[in-house]
Amino acid sequence: MHETAQHLHIPPFGKELPSPIAFRTANMPAHATYPQHSHAWGEFVYAFSGVMEIKLGDRHLLAPPQYGVWLAPNLEHRGLNRQAACHGSLYIAEELCGALPKTCCALVVSPLMRALLEHLRQHAPVLPGSDAVNRLLQVLVDQLATAACAGSYLPMSEDPLLNPLLLELEANPGDTRSLAELASLVHTTERTLMRRCQRELGMSLAQWRKRLRVVSSMPRLQAGDTVENIAHDLGYSTSSAFISMFHRLMGATPDEYRKGALAS
């Protein structure tokens, strides 16, 4: 997908954290990016609004607001957002990461975790924090250790067959071509394409396309676009079909998501 000129941001800390657990928030303009980097501590990234993307090696993790992205210590990665976003990062010293995943993944954010993150966003702690703040941060780390791992909400793949197809669909989320037509586009069979999707993405292409449409609709909902316009542009014949799909995947209607996102 073509991207306009980006706003570059430098990772916030140098060679060490100001405290064993630290939290910060940032408001990022559209097309902002953190250049490729690594650090000796773990990092949990959560988008209060918008969608943050994390790329490392041939993996591409993208999580809407009911998920956050966990990055284990010493992983080369870069962050970006295509639309304006507000995100928070919880930084955890390596010696405190023992109960957390050993690699990168999307973690399901529980209502308690979301409340803790929102409290921290509204009352940005001074670093290093007070004993009370440190206790709150430790509770959040404990919650991360028990959070369900979702892999990646919208996984990408460098597979030579899948990659060009996923990029084409990403550029046009409203594409309504059938599985047979898409298989023909990349010169393969439906059966091979289905097998490749399950192997590389962990889900069917149909499920991946629904998730893509949800993610694509988020910035438009936040910008005030109508559900009718969005549903039409995403290939749905009726608004109710889009609303039903969105609710199944997000646990909220588009309007409920819009109100929650704008309140962040």
Q: Is the pLDDT confidence value at 60 over 50?
A: yes
The pLDDT of residue 2: 33
Q: Is the pLDDT confidence value at 5 over 70?
A: no
CATH architecture of 7-151: Sandwich (2.60)
Q: Is the pTM of this model over 0.85?
A: no
CA distance 237 to 252: 20
Q: Is the pLDDT confidence value at 3 over 70?
A: no
- What integer is the mean pLDDT of 155-162? 88
Using 50, 70 and 90 to split pLDDT, how confident is the model at 4?
very low
Q: Is the pLDDT confidence value at 42 over 80?
A: yes
Q: Which of 119, 166, 168 is nearest to 139 (CA)?
A: 119
DSSP code string of 90-109: EEE-GGG-TTS-SS-EEEE-
CATH topology of domain 162-263: Arc Repressor Mutant, subunit A (1.10.10)
The pLDDT of residue 1: 32
Place of tokens 């550029």: 171
Q: Start-end ranges of CATH 1.10.10.60 in the chain?
A: 162-263
Q: Start-end ranges of CATH 2.60.120.280 in the chain?
A: 7-151
| CA distance from start to end of the chain | 28
How high does pLDDT run on average in the chain? 88
